[in-house]
Amino acid sequence: MAPAVPSAMDRPHLIGIGGAGMSGIAKILAMRGARVAGSDSRDSATADALRGLGATVHIGHAAEHLAADASCVIVSSAIRADNPELAAAAERGIPVIHRSDALAALMEGLRPIAVAGTHGKTTTTSMLAVALTTLGREPSYAIGGDLDAPGSNALHGDGEIFVAEADESDRSFHKYAPEVAVVLNVELDHHANYASMEEIYESFQIFADRVRPGGTLVISADQPGARELTARVTAGGTPGRDLRIVTYGEAEDADVRIVTIKPRGLTSEVTVVFDGRVITFTVSVPGRHYAGNAVAALVAGTALGLPVHNLASALGSYTGVKRRLQLQGTVNGVQVIDSYAHHPTEIAADLEAIRGSAGDGRVLVVFQPHLFSRTQELGIEMGEALTLADSSVVLDIYPAREDPVPGVTSALIIDAATAKGADVRAEHAMEAVPELIAGMARPGDLVLTMGAGDVTELGPRILARLGS
């Protein structure tokens, strides 16, 4: 029996309904029977998918888009206070609900797995969603990216498990009370909201403390920030609190230890020791980073009682999520792959993974920095990560929700990469990139479009130019 829609959300209006997080909530609400409406700045395939579920989607933001009988307005932290629909809600006394509160309400009465970490959340959540579906568990899920089609980032399932990506960027993951919490890694990011690593640790510790009594914290034994968090949770836990902690990774002291990761082209074969048993399974994405995500998913699923061998086999059903090392196509021997990587650790991990699949070919990168604040804090590290490519083209900064910061440009990244001997060049016009890459690439090369902004749109254009 489907969980009921909270009465406050039976006629919701979602501002920014086409976004990754908001569209997932809209989809689940619509599938549970709510009369969903909302608005977005531009039309999209995701908006069309929501319309197919009966949602009303307005393009553009205007006070008149807010229906007279709307029961609530749902917003994310990206919605500015001067949004006309948000202002209209205030004038009319319509309750405003944050996206995280809406997601928390949708999890009530179910067995939630919340996946957190600076990197890898979308991939790990997707792996769990696909594996649980393969095993016939009919999970509900909310992911920060599409699995195989627009609007496939969320689903209402009839099973008891709800898998959710838990976003630390605005501390909204403090709202959830999962039965299983996963922490993949803990690093400094989201500089507009966190001033120091100490604040990051405090935030993740609050998340860990939200695990339900008798629940499980699954956490990396390899990543330094995760190990520090484990020490803090262990030392500072509530007296008598019933929390099981399970660590995973290549470290000798990991509870679930990764023994080998063998590359097999764009896949990997992973062997782990789990409760004294040796288990080998296939991960359909390359590299250590993604293998670690798969093992985290394996441990999280078994924490809810799923048989480990069945789950390991089902994880092989996962074939990727859009923008996470997603093959866009191959033309004249040149593969074009799209990567969402935008933090230095992610950039390095994806480049190392692709390097293992490139053989004798070169790795060519088109990188678009994401956010002025991130570039200001991590631009040097981004440039150093790009040294793992054979050649890189760096675009202008994608601002997203931010205003420009004086003196902060892509030159910070280019200068850092050049200082380390990398072959890097600037390109200010996105429309010039396909021609530029076509002149650089030769058969056997791998081209990565990389970043969290609209650089993803370049893949098809590059393929078209390579083919002409």
pLDDT tens-digit series, residues 172-190 = 899 999 999 999 999 977 6
Cβ(433)–Cβ(447) under 8 Å? no
pLDDT in the model for residue 183: 98
Q: Edge-to-edge strands of the sheet including 72-75?
A: 56-59, 37-40, 12-15, 72-75, 96-98
pLDDT in the model for residue 322: 64
To the query of whether residue 122 is one of the catalytic residues in this protein, the response is yes
DSSP H stretches of helix in 80-223: 84-92, 99-107, 121-134, 197-209
Instruction: Report whether 134 belongs to an annotated binding site.
Output: no
Element (H, E) at 234: helix 224-236
Q: Of 27, 46, 121, 322, which residue is the catalytic one?
A: 121
Q: Give this prediction's pTM.
A: 0.78
Average pLDDT of adjacent 10-residue blocks, the chain of 468 residues: 78 94 94 96 91 96 96 92 95 95 95 94 92 95 76 90 92 95 89 83 95 97 96 76 93 97 85 96 86 97 96 86 78 92 88 81 95 93 95 95 92 96 95 96 94 92 94
Cβ(451)–Cβ(398) under 8 Å? yes
Instruction: Report whether 214 belongs to an annotated binding site.
Output: no
Residue given tokens 């390579």 in the structure block: 466
- The ranges assigned to domains in the chain are 7-97, 109-315, 324-467
To the query of whether residue 280 is one of the catalytic residues in this protein, the response is no
Q: Which residues are CB-neighbours of 239 under 8 A, at least 6 positions away?
A: none
What fold is seen in the domain 7-97? Answer: Rossmann fold (3.40.50)
Burial class for 275, CB neighbours closer than 10 Å (0-12, 13-18, 19+): exposed
pLDDT in the model for residue 190: 66
Element (H, E) at 389: none
Instruction: Report whether 120 belongs to an annotated binding site.
Output: yes
Cβ(185)–Cβ(225) under 8 Å? yes
pLDDT in the model for residue 289: 86
To the query of whether residue 85 is one of the catalytic residues in this protein, the response is no
pLDDT in the model for residue 170: 84
Domain 324-467 -> CATH class: alpha beta
Do 109-315 and 324-467 come out as alike in CATH topology?
A: no
Instruction: Report whether 271 belongs to an annotated binding site.
Output: no
Q: Of 122, 216, 267, 449, which residue is the catalytic one?
A: 122
Cα separation values, 182 from 108, 169, 258, Å: 18, 16, 17
Cβ(185)–Cβ(197) under 8 Å? no
Instruction: Report whether 46 belongs to an annotated binding site.
Output: no
Q: Which residues are CB-neighbours of 418 under 8 A, at least 6 positions away?
A: 383, 424
DSSP H stretches of helix in 316-392: 344-358, 372-385
pLDDT tens-digit profile of 321-330? 666 678 889 9
> How far is Cα 458 from Cα 448, in angstroms, rounded to an integer?
10
Strand 96-98 and strand 324-331: the pairing is: unpaired
**Dihedral over alpha carbons 280, 282, 283, 284 (to 10 degrees):** 170
| Residue whose C-alpha is closest to residue 180's, from 252, 116, 103 | 116
Cβ(401)–Cβ(78) under 8 Å? yes
Q: Of 85, 165, 250, 346, which residue is the catalytic one?
A: 165
| Residue whose C-alpha is closest to residue 304's, from 100, 139, 142, 89 | 139
* Domain formed by 109-315, architecture: 3-Layer(aba) Sandwich (3.40)
